[in-house]
Structures are given as structure tokens and as C-alpha cells.
Amino acid sequence: MRASEKLALIDRIVGELETRYGYREIDAYLNEFGISTPHEWHRWNSKREYSALHLYSKPADTIIKIAEDLGLDSFHSSHGISSPSQNWVDTTRFRLFISHIAKNKDKATRLRHCLVPYEISGFVAHEDINATLEWQLEIERALYTMDAFLAIHTKGFKDSYWAQQEVGFALGRGVRLYRSRWTKIRQGLSPNIRRSPAGIEQQSR
């Protein structure tokens, strides 16, 4: 989740808490999500500001859970906010969506393992989705909550409907877009890309 998305969601949450609850109830509600409320509420004149103070420093996952509990569905539909994919639950690492075609899942998996020491948590659909979970839903959760997008651009990538859908989603969200190019032909992504370190190219804005 981008910082602007998080702040916008917090603004919706505190507005809802202000409408529904008094100070004591706000304390009790936040405590249910593991959020301590050490500040003395009787010193505050605004429930909105009081609530926001306790939420700004909390991780995005917690903010999303609160929004979902409050039923802020309209925000979800208009801004694309959702719970993270299963492998990103409770992670504090940088979330990188690794897009690839099925036959190259081994390359994507190796790349994910190589990024672990750099505090980067990669999402590889063919490896990270449990057989009991709905495939498309998990991919959408990862796309909605990724911090950046990396396409493993191998032969056949440009012809993959799903890969191109993922690229389009990343462009639409405005996250940083990278490409690891394994083919000499520049296809499938915008030509407005510049080279960055480690042989990976970055989408310029």
C-alpha cells in the first residue's frame, strides 16, 4: 500500500470511529486490534484526531483489517484496497510482485530466494498460492498490496493474457515497475524504460 493510500484509508476510519463511538469505546475497539491507547482521552476535544494519533504509526495490514471490520466497502471498491496475499500477512518486508509465465516459475522462485537477504518479499503466484485458496483472489490481493512490480520478461511473456493483465494493473496503480529481460526483443512493456543496476530495467514515470 502506498503512503497516500494508507493516509486516505486512515481518514475514512477515524471518520467512522468518530460517528460510531465515544472515547471509551474507541479505546476498547482499538485494543481489539492490539493497539494500545496510552493517551488520556479526556484531554482531547476531537475524537477524530485522537483516533488518528493511534493509527498513523501502525502497519498497513492492521489499518486494512480495521477498515474491513468497519465495513468500508465503498473505499475498497474505489481505491482497490484489500487484505494482503497469504504469504505477505504480517510481513514488514518490501513487497515485490514477480510476474512470470508458468514455464518460468523456476526463474521467478530463484529470484525470490535471492531477494530475501535484502528484506524483499517476492510474490510468485505458482509457488505462493495454497491449493486451498482461490487463485485469482490471491493474485488480486498481491497486486493491490504490492510495493513494486517486476516482470520476468522471457519469450512468450508478451503473448500471455494474464501477464499483460498484471502489467496493466501495475501501471494503473502507479507503483514502480521493473523488468528483468531474458530476451533480446523489447516487447510487452512500455518502451519508456531505463536501465538500473543489476541488469534490471525500471519503468520511468
Q: What is the pLDDT of residue 113?
A: 93
pLDDT tens digits, 170-181? 998 888 999 887
Q: What is the pLDDT of residue 52?
A: 92
**Are 154 and 183 part of one and the same domain?**
yes
| DSSP for 112-139, written as a single string | HHHHGGGTEEEE-HHHHS-TTS-HHHHH
**Are 101 and 158 part of one and the same domain?**
yes
Judged on CB neighbours under 10 Å (0-12, 13-18, 19+), 86 is middle
**Are 75 and 97 part of one and the same domain?**
no
Domain end residue (candidates: 49, 79, 109): 79
**Are 75 and 92 part of one and the same domain?**
no
pLDDT tens digits, 114-150? 999 999 999 988 655 554 456 777 888 888 888 999 9
CATH of the domain at 183: 3.40.50.10140
CA-derived radius of gyration, the chain: 20
Contact 101, 154 (CB under 8 A): yes
**Are 33 and 131 part of one and the same domain?**
no
Q: What is the pLDDT of residue 186?
A: 52
**Are 129 and 197 part of one and the same domain?**
yes
**Are 97 and 195 part of one and the same domain?**
yes
Q: Which domain holds residue 152?
A: 86-203
- Sign of the torsion angle spanned by Cα atoms 88, 89, 93, 95: positive
pLDDT tens digits, 152-174? 988 888 888 888 889 998 998 88
**Are 119 and 185 part of one and the same domain?**
yes
pLDDT tens digits, 80-99? 555 777 778 778 889 999 99
Looking only at the bridges linking them, the beta strands covering 193-195 and 200-203 are antiparallel
**Are 136 and 198 part of one and the same domain?**
yes
Quick one: what percent of the chain has pLDDT higher than 90? 29
Domain end residue (candidates: 55, 79, 103): 79
**Are 119 and 150 part of one and the same domain?**
yes
Count of domains for the chain: 2
Q: Which residue has the higher pLDDT, 3 or 31?
A: 31
Mean pLDDT, all residues of the chain: 79
**Are 69 and 104 part of one and the same domain?**
no
Domain end residue (candidates: 47, 79, 111): 79
pLDDT tens digits, 186-200? 544 444 433 333 444
**Are 91 and 176 part of one and the same domain?**
yes
